[in-house]
Structure 1
Amino acid sequence: MEQLNFGRNQISGSIPAEIGNLVNLTLLDIGQNMLSGKIPLTVWNLSNLVVLKLSMNKLSGQIPSTVGNLVRLSQLYLDDNELSGNIPAYIGQCQRLLILNLSVNYLDGYIPRELFSIPSLSLGLDLSNNNLIGPIPQEVGKLITLGIFNVSNNKLSGDLPSELGQCVQLQSLQMESNMLNGIIPQSFSALKVIQKIDLSANSLTGQVPQFFGNFSSLHYINISYNKFEGPIPAGGVFTNFKEVSLEGNTGLCETAAAIFGLPICPTESTRKGKMNARLLLIIAPPVIIAFLSFLCVVVTIMKGTKAQPSESFKETMKRVSYGNVIKATNWFSLVNRISSGHTASVYIGRFEFETDLVAIKVFHLHEQGSKKSFFTECEVLKHTRHRNLVQAITLCSTVDFDNNEFKAIVYEFMANGSLDMWIHPRIHQGSARRLLSLGQRISIVADVASALDYLHNQLTPPMIHCDLKPSNVLLDYDMTSRVGDFGSAKFLSSSPGTTPEGLAGVGGTIGYIAPEYGMGCKISTGGDVYSFGVLLLEMLTAVRPTDALCGNALSLHKYVDQAFPERISEVLDPHMPPEEDEVAASLRMQNYIMPLVSIGLMCSMESPKDRPGIHDVCAKIVAIKEAFVETL
């Protein structure tokens, strides 16, 4: 046996030591289960392992020095467990590692310098959410191809290492919630492909480097709750106040219009313009504020308008070859594979000479229905354009090196994964490690409703998604929702007899499929509304429609309906961050949670005629969102 994959089940108990007898294993994936106890020492003797995934369990104990025996390992996931002790320096012997994830554990001590002697560590190093102490080793500069570096939520101290500027391929830098101090080094100016920077909740001082405003790829920066002072950059990401967090830095100021509400920086007036400058300081602020208010109204109106397909859509699509795709995915490496289904697999990758990560969906053309799924997605992408739909960058339709047909679609990479990952986190000692606030849940479901409203009511002919569920709702860097996976989608035709009927052609998922489809009814927008209702109830309760909790109630709808409204608090997600104030908690329940649950129940009614249209649903949720935002 070379590959063993029991991931994403509900397996409990301990890992048997006899697993070490499978000496030919190259892949062992038993992540996302309920396994507990220590990792058997025999696992660390499986010297042929290339991929080891034990994440999202309840495994305890220390990582032994024998981890260094896995010299062929390219992917090591031990995250989201209850591991403790120091990070062994012997991990440095795993010289082929592409990604190392030890996040969300109870690891302590210093970060071993040996970690930074792994030249292949390009996809990511994640040590976040532990109890690590001390400075970040200067050897971090050796990882010149590192793409993601995350040491957030530890107890690290000392200065930001200037050597980090040598990691010129870095795209995401997260160091928030530590005890770091000093200034941001000038060497960081070399990080020209950086996309995300989070240095918040430290004790950093000095000025915010002006070169941050020159980074064309940077689209999110959080430097809040530090001790920065002086002018903030005026260009780049700093022109978009939604992508910048500056709170808690009392010494910051702005050199231009007060986009961030900061004081205007004092300037030295020229001799000729001294009096004019003083006059402008008196007159300009109210004029600028009025102008910005006007701009905000215009932007709000523009965001509400329909997104139309671009006429030059095909012309802007880049052409990529089969060779480009295999290089970008490291020859379809298991390390790069994000997910795999019947009709396609999705890989994370980066094209040569490009800086952005992408998601590449490669279709299994030998499987029945995969080619149809490819053409369906292409047709959808051709006719749709909306901020809450996943956007394609390009496609590849060609032959491989053996002259076999090959088809793939390249999508934007969604950095925060799927909604499913967020509403079903692993629990550690009674608290979830990844939490969605009520505000985030309202915003996400408003985005999904907006996407469905666009598909149902703003396209001609209307389109039915047919497989809406949390795993098909993806989240961007700023947690904006994007509905994706249109392989099962259907365009409704006005011609009699052309609308598909029954389950033939409906590729939905059990628990989310509208019940009428099983009785031979035609595909309709009401089917998507039902799926949306289940998704909304699942997001509020963190209960899947197929969970055992729904067994006696027969469905998630009935499970929630039995508790609504008097006992609704009993079925809500216990890990939704609560309100500290009792009055605020009561208002939150009455004004936001109860209306959302009501909408979820109405949308998931068994009979299609009892469900509302998505346009009305979208309007109600947007009203809830606006009311919630006004209370912030």
Structure 2
Amino acid sequence: MKLIISLVCGILGVILVLTFLYLQCLRKGKKESASSDSDKFLKVSYQSLLKATDAFSSTNLIGMGSFGSVYKGVLEDGGTTIAIKVFNLVRRGAYKSFTAECEALKNIRHRNLVKVLSVCSGSDYSGNDFKALIYEFMVNGSLEEWLHPAGTNGEINDGQRSLNFCQRLNIAIDVAMALEYLHHHCETPIVHCDLKPSNVLLDDDMIGHVGDFGLAKFLPITSQTSSGNQSSSLGIKGTIGYTPPGTLTLHNFVEAAVPEQLVEIVDPVLVQEMVQAEMSTINHHHHNEDNARLRMKTEECLISILEIGLACSAELPGERLDISDVVAQKSQIRKKHTVQH
């Protein structure tokens, strides 16, 4: 009997030792993984950001939003040009916006999403909380600036910046591809909730990148199997004029749609702005035969784009066009337009 008890105790002891060693190995692996992940990001401090922006000088201010300001900066180490979004933590909702953006951006990577390089969370020299996100700098600014270029006195200056039809269509497809990734190819579907021209940034190749995830929401798993004809009861989010159909306007997004349906659209308001600008350009051309033919072909493409916008703006979320179909149809329009020209 004593022998059996000794054997059992010995076996239990071996099991405990092996379990302890296994857990230690797991912890070591996690630490190495975390260290490896952190090495992928720039390491920045409040002091380095202060130097990069010349003490957050107004001359480096490139944008302002609901919860903070965006500055252009150049890091001393390597001379990397960056965009720094500094959160105004006095504003109600700023902390929540910072957290939401960090959660949304930490595990997503796509060529049409603004790339986050690092995060700075600490205190400034006065002891106040300081939170900032560091992004890859987009040389060509926002789509808003290209659609509505303004002069030095705030007057519209049509000669300052302009986009041709192909560029406008390419950017619309870039936005659609970003949304397709967020809705269909993330582990948990992400709803942007504030898609608009000022949140679409353009790099040096005029490729569109969706940014500002301060209002982003993760779509609950339960919503994936719920009816697509129900609308959200979580309240209206986003910018007026860019909120869901059935709440404020016909043109925009719904938060409660299932992932297989379009939660947010390639904004029909944005497309309308493209149409107006394109038609304004066409109207200034001489009405010769070639221009008349070009105008007719362009109008066909524009009508096709607006039809997609209308299909995305159905009052019931379940009746809206799937984002994958939006990408496919817009790509077909681009292909047709390229062949025609």
TM-score of the aligned structures, taking structure 1 as reference length = 0.43
Residue range with higher mean Cα deviation, 596-605 or 412-421: 596-605
Contact 1:578–1:585 (CA<8 Å) still a contact in 2? no
Structure 2 residue matching 1:421: 3-state secondary structure: helix
Cα deviation, residue 404, structure 1: 2.0
Q: Name the aligned partner's letter for residue 136 of structure 2.
A: E
Q: Which residue of 2 aligns with 1:536?
A: 271
Q: State the distance in 1 between where 2:61 and 2:281 align.
A: 30
Correspondence for 1:374 among 90, 93, 98: 98
Matches within 5 A, 1:40-439: 313-426=37-150, 432-439=159-166
- For structure 2, the 5+ residue unaligned runs are 1-33
Q: State the distance in 2 between where 1:331 and 1:348 align.
A: 11
Q: Name the aligned partner's letter for residue 264 of structure 2.
A: V
Q: Which residue of 1 aligns with 2:30?
A: none
Contact 1:502–1:522 (CA<8 Å) still a contact in 2? no
Q: State the distance in 1 between where 2:53 and 2:193 align.
A: 29
- For structure 1, the 5+ residue unaligned runs are 1-309, 543-571
Q: State the distance in 2 between where 1:366 and 1:429 align.
A: 33
Cα deviation, residue 343, structure 1: 1.1
Q: Which residue of 1 aligns with 2:179?
A: 452
- Asked if 1:623 is matched to 2:336, the reply is no
Contact 1:432–1:575 (CA<8 Å) still a contact in 2? no
Q: Name the aligned partner's letter for residue 67 of structure 2.
A: T
- Asked if 1:575 is matched to 2:267, the reply is no
Q: State the distance in 1 between where 2:81 and 2:219 align.
A: 34
Cα deviation, residue 426, structure 1: 4.7
- RMSD, aligned CA: 3.0
Contact 2:97–2:215 (CA<8 Å) still a contact in 1? yes
Contact 2:117–2:135 (CA<8 Å) still a contact in 1? yes
Contact 2:266–2:309 (CA<8 Å) still a contact in 1? no
Percent identity for Structure 1 against Structure 2? 41
Cα deviation, residue 517, structure 1: 4.6
Q: State the distance in 1 between where 2:234 and 2:56 align.
A: 33
Cα deviation, residue 522, structure 1: 5.4
Cα–Cα, structure 1 residues 324 and 495, in superposed 2: closer, same or farther, change >3 Å? same
Q: Which residue of 2 aligns with 1:61?
A: none
- Point out the structure with the larger helix share: 2
Q: State the distance in 1 between where 2:87 and 2:177 align.
A: 28
Cα–Cα, structure 1 residues 582 and 411, in superposed 2: closer, same or farther, change >3 Å? same
Deviations 1:552-581 (A, max 9, x none): xxxxxxxxxxxxxxxxxxxx6403686943
Cα–Cα, structure 1 residues 311 and 442, in superposed 2: closer, same or farther, change >3 Å? farther
Cα–Cα, structure 1 residues 313 and 629, in superposed 2: closer, same or farther, change >3 Å? farther
TM-score of the aligned structures, taking structure 2 as reference length = 0.76
Deviations 1:442-464 (A, max 9, x none): 11101000001111111121111
Contact 1:605–1:611 (CA<8 Å) still a contact in 2? yes
Cα–Cα, structure 1 residues 422 and 527, in superposed 2: closer, same or farther, change >3 Å? same
Deviations 1:232-264 (A, max 9, x none): xxxxxxxxxxxxxxxxxxxxxxxxxxxxxxxxx
- Asked if 1:478 is matched to 2:205, the reply is yes
- Asked if 1:507 is matched to 2:237, the reply is yes
Cα deviation, residue 356, structure 1: 2.8
Structure 1 residue matching 2:163: 3-state secondary structure: coil
Cα deviation, residue 365, structure 1: 1.5
